Structure 1
């Protein structure tokens, strides 16, 4: 298959690319790479599909959002724009460009327990997962849509100076994305686990 991986230079994206490249042609897309895309900019998503054609699958690992205190002055709408609306726009555009039977895999997320600053992230993740399960009935030409909802990634925790054992290694997270692309899931939210 020919697969676009958005966020290919990030922790999760790099692991996804490494696994998919063993069997497929992977086009690496990111904000700063040779194939550029910015999930905050719908025009760049359109430009991506104009540049990269005849695609079988799109995997988005680029969506993220910072922890934002409920009563803070931070821009909580940033996650809504990039992570939620950006991925919704990505799916809508991909419908016109994917080969029959292709797939789109988006990224939501999950917090194992409530934590300060996570309320807006939880809102965005829940919205995205509801969107994926509802969009299934409108997918044309045998196209599929799924999401991967990773919790904390071990390497991210370690980079923050925390215990990586509390997270899932990026390679295990990446396997969930590969399963979404190569399997027959439709409207599913896959939750990566350590050692799977």
Structure 2
């Protein structure tokens, strides 16, 4: 991971409750440029974490910043998942966004093997640091209207939800 903005003391970080996975129509090599632009203006449209096609992860914003990566969870059609508990609940302030670049010009192009390998580690780190259970990892398209051509972030969110990560609270409660 390349830290453009290092972590702070956890007590100073935003209380992230959800992780939202995005896939960008950006070109291969665009993660660095996007991460630097996000670092310079944390509340612009974008995410806190950018993942390049080679698996390099860029942390671009302070942990208290709120990048603009979602509308307020406005999908209520149960097209991909049951949206009854997420409708109007998941927004920029409650969710940390992770963007996987490189599917331009074919938006249906899946993440690379290197991105998937990086994700398997990154999602565990995020879940452990912010105590986010598997069921609170979402693909962008699961909670927010996006693109009819493909399901943005679906493969990556499914991976996160099936890898059996226990959060600190679950271990503490004996779940």
Higher strand share: 1
Give the number of the structure whose alpha-carbon radius of gyration is greater: 1
**Normalised by the size of structure 2, how large is the TM-score?**
0.30
Q: Which has the higher contact order (CA 8 A, sep 6+)?
A: 2
**Normalised by the size of structure 1, how large is the TM-score?**
0.28
